[in-house]
């Protein structure tokens, strides 16, 4: 049985980090984008990351950050995976990462606009990214709780390599995670607002239900 990896993003409290780990999260995301209601400082991210046991990956999310801002994050959390969630070009991602692995977020338009988004070209343009994270295009660079049209893309296309390279995000909740994983069969899923009681405050119950929903999908046949 394939095990879909789970990233929980936008954590701001030690108790939430500890519960996410206990529930089975593989990665924990810290938002280093000051306008976000889930933002933390690099220093705070470092404090939260110290709650992580071995083999749970900290991820630092940046939006159109400067090299100095990325370095400040890495000084606080040296072993973090980088996630670029803004308008960064492939060259900018490479320069900011400086040889480190990184995840590139693709902001997919909502509604019928998803079918006009050339995901194959995006995957080719960012071929050096370790993974592509597919999020809904909303005001504020993510965390808006909206899902894009999952039927808009050829998930089985070899250029996408979904089961090894794609991270499904955007509007995931305990109610729809099973369907999303069954349809896309991504390497991982990423949830933020879908497991919150308030922005930046995670719900232990919703985290548990989300993880259970993903595991149900792992145990079921892929959607047609």
Give residues with Cβ within 8 angstroms of 76, minimum separation 6.
42, 43, 45, 46, 49
**Total length of the chain:** 224
What is the C-alpha separation between 87 and 93, in angstroms, rounded?
10
Catalytic residue among 16, 93, 135, 190: 135
Considering just the CA atoms, what is the radius of gyration of the chain in Å?
A: 16
What is the C-alpha separation between 32 and 224, in angstroms, rounded?
38
Cβ atoms of residues 178 and 142 within 8 Å: no
What is the C-alpha separation between 177 and 76, in angstroms, rounded?
32
Work out whether strand 102-108 and strand 81-84 pair parallel, antiparallel, or are unpaired: parallel
The structure tokens listed for 62 are 């940046």
| 87 in active site | no
| 93 in active site | no
Catalytic residue among 9, 16, 93, 190: 9
Report phi then psi at 84, rounded to 5: -105, 120
Report, as residue numbers or ranges, the catalytic residues. 9, 135
């Amino acid at each position: 049985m394939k095990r879909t990896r789970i990233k929980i993003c936008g954590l701001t409290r030690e108790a939430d980090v500890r519960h996410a780990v206990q529930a089975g999260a593989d990665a924990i995301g810290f938002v280093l984008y000051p306008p976000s209601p889930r933002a933390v400082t690099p220093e705070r991210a470092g404090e939260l990351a110290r709650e992580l046991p071995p083999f749970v990956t900290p991820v630092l999310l940046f939006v159109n950050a400067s090299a100095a801002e990325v370095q400040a994050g890495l000084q606080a959390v040296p072993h973090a995976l980088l996630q670029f969630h803004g308008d960064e070009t492939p060259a900018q991602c490479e320069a900011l990462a400086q040889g480190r692995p990184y995840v590139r977020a693709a902001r997919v338009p909502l509604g019928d606009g998803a079918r006009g988004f050339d995901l194959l070209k995006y995957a080719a343009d960012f071929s050096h990214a370790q993974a592509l994270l597919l999020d809904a295009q909303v005001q504020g660079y993510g965390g808006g709780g909206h899902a894009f049209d999952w039927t808009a893309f050829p998930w089985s296309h070899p250029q996408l390599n979904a089961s090894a390279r794609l991270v499904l995000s955007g509007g995931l909740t305990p109610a729809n995670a099973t369907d999303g994983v069954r349809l896309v069969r991504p390497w991982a899923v990423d949830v933020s607002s879908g497991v919150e009681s308030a922005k930046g405050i995670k719900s232990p119950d919703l985290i548990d239900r989300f993880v259970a929903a993903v595991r149900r999908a792992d145990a079921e046949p892929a959607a047609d």
